[in-house]
Amino acid sequence: MTETNWYDPGTGNFIVVDGLIVERDAQNIVDRVREYDPNLDVMCLDPAMGDGLNDAPFLLIWKRPSDGAWERVFEFWALDERVLERIYNADQTRFSAMLKIEDMEAAIEKANKQRYQEFRDEAKEVMLAAVVNKSSSFSLINKEGDLVKIHEDAPRTLNKGKRSFSDAGNKFNVKG
């Protein structure tokens, strides 16, 4: 489909390209490929010349700037938006996979730092509540929902599944 002359016989779904009837959507995809890179073009293979089921009907071809020869880039079965997506994703001059990976790694690192900071803030809050506590024991509910009691003169106790506090509205049961 290089340098085609096309004619629109009306407002229907088809146009005439070099004497052949072509879907308007297919011509739109070809035009967008050419807009993306003038050295790219789409070639439609003659089904009578192929070996039948194994040959894709369309080829994306690229014109080498050095000598003007055409090279096959890839074959495809449907002339739709997927062709453009494949071109965009394969273009290393405009789309850098390495930059994409680095951006993803930076986002993961930022999320990890955020989680660690939240953990530190929560631990700081618990420690502050324990330090301000004026009684000889301190109680809190851990992330698993267990009641943890810390006594000044005894080891800590853990009551799995118990949630009994004298002051139910106080998150850390701070008395004093």
Asked if the model's pLDDT at residue 173 lies above 60, the reply is no
Asked if the model's pLDDT at residue 102 lies above 80, the reply is yes
Q: Which range of residues forms the domain containing residue 27?
A: 6-95
In this structure, the answer to whether residues 30 and 74 fall within a common structural domain is: yes
CA distance 162 to 89: 55
Contact 3, 30 (CB under 8 A): no
Between 159 and 100, where is the model more confident?
100
pTM, two decimals, is 0.45
Domain endpoint, select from 48, 80, 95: 95
Q: Is residue 35 part of a domain?
A: yes
Question: What does the block give as tokens for 94?
Answer: 């405009």
pLDDT by residue (tens digit) across 21-58?
777 788 888 888 889 888 898 888 776 676 666 677 88
In this structure, the answer to whether residues 126 and 90 fall within a common structural domain is: no
Sheet holding 40-44, edge to edge: 40-44, 58-63, 70-76
Give φ, ψ of 22 to 5 degrees.
Answer: -130, 145
CA distance 139 to 131: 12
In this structure, the answer to whether residues 45 and 82 fall within a common structural domain is: yes
Q: Is residue 1 part of a domain?
A: no
Mean pLDDT confidence for 69-91: 85
Q: Is residue 73 part of a domain?
A: yes
In this structure, the answer to whether residues 126 and 166 fall within a common structural domain is: no
Contact 175, 152 (CB under 8 A): no
Q: Is residue 82 part of a domain?
A: yes
Query: What length is written for the chain?
Result: 176
Considering its fold, how many domains does the chain have in total?
A: 3
Q: Is residue 137 part of a domain?
A: yes
